[in-house]
Structure 1
Amino acid sequence: MSRNYILSKEAVARKLQRMAYEIIENNLDEQEIILAGIRENGSVIARNIEKLLHAINSNIKIWNIEIALDKKAPHDIKLSGETDFTEKVIIVVDDVANSGRTMLYAIKPFLAYLPKKIQTLALVERTHKTYPVNTDYVGLSVATTLQEHIFVEVEGDTVTGAYME
């Protein structure tokens, strides 16, 4: 079965680069940015964004943590690194933003603190939001039917494409 690719490896690289510049532009006065990638693909995207941010601006401290949660039943949420998130800028990163539910639950552990900002990033955003989550940084926004699904492919630490079924 042939796949309906909506992003090639090269297009993904361009989208990630653009989003990294947007992050810097929107956070120029910040000392530190925490990228919180949602396991699995969100973590890969967060690591790629981290490398791009370091290349663009070495004055902002960038660090990465991983959020582990079951996307089908996202009640138990674990962070790979515990710290005081008070007054920090946190960017929650996922591969695809569908309904907004996963992003909403992924934000939950940070609310025990008083972060300065919580922003969201998704490589691909679908237009069917059922939860009140706005994606701040979007690689590609796609209008889909509820029956269509978007998949992001990764190999190691490289995002190789995205397709729709």
Structure 2
Amino acid sequence: MVLTKENLILTHQQILQKIKRMAFEIYEQNFEETQLVLAGIQENGYFLAQALAQELREISPIDIQLTSVRLHKTQPLTHPIEIEPALPPLSNTAVVLVDDVLNTGKTLAYTLRAFLEKDCKKLEIATLINRHHTAYPIAATYTGYSLATTLREHIRVVKTDSIWQAHLL
């Protein structure tokens, strides 16, 4: 899988624009909140959550808490989900679960339980790219880019240093 100009679907500048727009959408839907948790699924989902947190801190007075979610993506039932830093009960807190690509929804579906157990006030999903191949009842609340692909195609979001790119492989 070679990353080339021909299979580039989002440039760095386009991704930054989408992150900014998503941050505004998140703020619009949560403007009454005093605190918002952005939970990024490692690794690229966490990078996206960091970028969204930065944008939200610039445009809103909401206290943005950033947390990392790590799970075994091929065997999620046999390995624990790790959330760092550990979260207190979230009964009065809205949570946005963040991942780079929504494909089947499996990763997000398995991650939901950890936040439902914290009794969060509201749970939303943000994804940079939505492929619309969900096999689980997962829908993104915030999407940067929707792209219809075949099941054989893959999307790879790459972040090196401070440069983002997305490729269709």
The alignment's TM-score, normalised by the length of structure 1, stands at: 0.95
Alignment match of 1:148 (pick from 139, 149, 153): 153
Residue 46 of structure 2 aligns to a residue in which SS?
helix
Q: What is the one-letter code of the residue matched to 2:148?
A: A
Whole-Å Cα distance in 1 between the matches of residues 10 and 72 of structure 2? Answer: 26
- Cα displacement string for residues 68-113 of structure 1 (whole angstroms, at most 9, x for unaligned residues): 0111122221100222222210000001000011111111111112
Q: Residue 68 of structure 1 corresponds to which residue in structure 2?
A: 70
2:121 paired with 1:93: no
Q: Residue 11 of structure 1 corresponds to which residue in structure 2?
A: 14
Residue 145 of structure 1 aligns to a residue in which SS?
coil
Please list every run of 5 or more consecutive structure 1 residues that lacks an aligned counterpart in the other structure: none
Please list every run of 5 or more consecutive structure 2 residues that lacks an aligned counterpart in the other structure: none
Q: What is the one-letter code of the residue matched to 2:38?
A: L
Q: What is the one-letter code of the residue matched to 2:53?
A: E
Q: Residue 164 of structure 1 corresponds to which residue in structure 2?
A: 168
Alignment match of 1:25 (pick from 10, 28, 42): 28
| Aligned 1:103-142 pairs, distance under 5 A | 103-142=108-147
* Structure 1 residue runs of 4 or more that deviate by more than 4 Å after TM superposition: none
1:52 deviates by 0.2
The alignment's TM-score, normalised by the length of structure 2, stands at: 0.93
Q: Residue 37 of structure 1 corresponds to which residue in structure 2?
A: 40
- Kindly tell me the number of residue pairs found equivalent between the two proteins: 163
- Cα displacement string for residues 34-76 of structure 1 (whole angstroms, at most 9, x for unaligned residues): 000000101100000000000001x210010000011112222
Residue 34 of structure 1 aligns to a residue in which SS?
strand
C-alpha contact (below 8 Å) 1:89/1:115 kept by paired residues: yes
Percent of aligned pairs with the same residue? 35
C-alpha contact (below 8 Å) 1:152/1:159 kept by paired residues: no
1:159 deviates by 4.8
C-alpha contact (below 8 Å) 1:152/1:161 kept by paired residues: yes
Residue 23 of structure 1 aligns to a residue in which SS?
helix
